[in-house]
Amino acid sequence: MRFIFLFILAFHFCFAEDGLSLKDAIQKVKEQNNEIAIAKFDEQIKTLEHQAAVGANYGSLDFSQSALRSNDALNVFGYKLQSREATFADFGFKQFTGSNYMLASDDLNNPQARNLFQTKIEYTLPLYTGGKLEQMGKITQALHEMSTLNLEAMKLQKIYELKKSFFAVSLLNEHLYNLHIIASNTTKLAATTEAMMQEGYVKKVDLLEVQSKQADVERLINQAEANRTLLYYYISFLVDEPVTAIKGNYEEAQTFLGNDEQILNNNLDIKKAEQGVEISKMNIDLQQGAFLPQVGAFANYGSSDNTFMNDLSKHDGYTVGLQMKWNLFNGGSDKNNLEKARVENLKASQQLVLSKKSIALHVRQIQTQIQNDEYEMKSLKKEVEFAHQIYENYEGRYEQKLVSINEVMMKQTEELSKVLRLKEVQNARNEKIFELQKLASKEVE
Which residue in 132, 140, 145, 138 sits closest to 275, CA to CA?
A: 145
**CATH number listed for the domain at residues 2-57+131-292+330-439:** 1.20.1600.10
153-210 pLDDT per residue, tens: 999 999 999 999 999 999 899 889 888 888 888 888 888 878 877 877 777 887 888 8
Tell me what pLDDT residue 94 has: 60
CA distances from 113 to 68, 71, 72, 104, 335 (A): 10, 4, 7, 19, 53
Kindly state the percentage of the chain with pLDDT values over 90.
Answer: 53
274-303 pLDDT per residue, tens: 999 999 999 999 999 999 999 999 999 998
Rounded CA-CA distance 90/78 in Å is 11
Rounded CA-CA distance 381/387 in Å is 10
Mean pLDDT for the chain? 86
Which residues sit opposite 119 in a β-bridge?
65, 303
51-82 pLDDT per residue, tens: 999 999 999 999 999 998 988 888 888 888 88
In sequence order, what DSSP letters do the residues of 147-208 get, joined into one string? HHHHHHHHHHHHHHHHHHHHHHHHHHHHHHHHHHHHHHHHHHHHHHHHHHHHTTSS-HHHHH
Instruction: Flag the least confident range among 96-100, 105-109, 252-256.
Output: 96-100
Which residue in 192, 221, 223, 225 sits closest to 209, CA to CA?
A: 192
Instruction: Flag the least confident range among 300-314, 338-352, 422-436.
Output: 300-314
| Angle subtended by helix axes 132-198 and 34-55, to nearest 10 | 180
326-385 pLDDT per residue, tens: 998 888 899 999 999 999 999 999 999 999 999 999 999 999 999 999 999 999 999 999
Tell me what pLDDT residue 14 has: 47
Per-residue pLDDT band at 228 (split at 50, 70, 90): very high
Contacts of 411 (CB under 8 A, 6+ apart): 387, 390, 391, 394
Tell me what pLDDT residue 13 has: 47
**Average pLDDT for 22-32:** 93
The DSSP 8-state label assigned to residue 129 in this structure reads: -
User: In the chain, where are the structural domains located?
Assistant: 2-57+131-292+330-439
Per-residue pLDDT band at 98 (split at 50, 70, 90): low
Contact 217, 179 (CB under 8 A): yes
Q: How far is CA 306 from the centre of its chain?
A: 60
Phi, psi of 121 (to 5 degrees): -130, 135
Tell me what pLDDT residue 9 has: 53
Instruction: Flag the least confident range among 17-26, 327-336, 343-352, 418-427.
Output: 17-26
Rounded CA-CA distance 240/246 in Å is 15
Tell me what pLDDT residue 6 has: 47
Tell me what pLDDT residue 2 has: 45
In sequence order, what DSSP letters do the residues of 75-86 get, joined into one string? HHHHHHHHTT--
